[in-house]
Amino acid sequence: MEPIVIAAQLGITPSALERFITAGEVPASLAIRLNMTRSSLQDFVDGESAFGVAEKINCTPSAAEKLRSAIGPQGAIGFLIGLTISAPSGDVKHASLCF
């Protein structure tokens, strides 16, 4: 899929997508789309805390932190891209994605 298409699906500019993928800089519009704070998403990408993401995907913070540790920062970015694309209204509560 072309980056411009992914950016459009995320509701961000192609340059914001590039910064997100290359530098791990979470766009504010992603947080708005997921109905989360930008800082909680940035913490997940940075490996600092997974509490906000855990709540969003309906699992424990410990399980979300294990997920983040397993997939690394680039995996976390891909995970958030997929989560955002699958939740267009921003208020969708995902079924548990943690095991």
Segment 63-90 mean pLDDT: 90
Q: Write out the two tokens for 19.
A: 């910064």
Q: How confident is the model at residue 92 (pLDDT cuts 50, 70, 90)?
A: very low
Whole-prediction pTM: 0.85
> SS3 for the chain, per residue?
CCHHHHHHHHCCCHHHHHHHHHHCCCCHHHHHHHCCCHHHHHHHHHCCCCHHHHHHCCCCHHHHHHHHHHHHHHHHHHHHHHHHHHCCCCCCCCCCCCC
pLDDT: which is higher, 38 or 91: 38
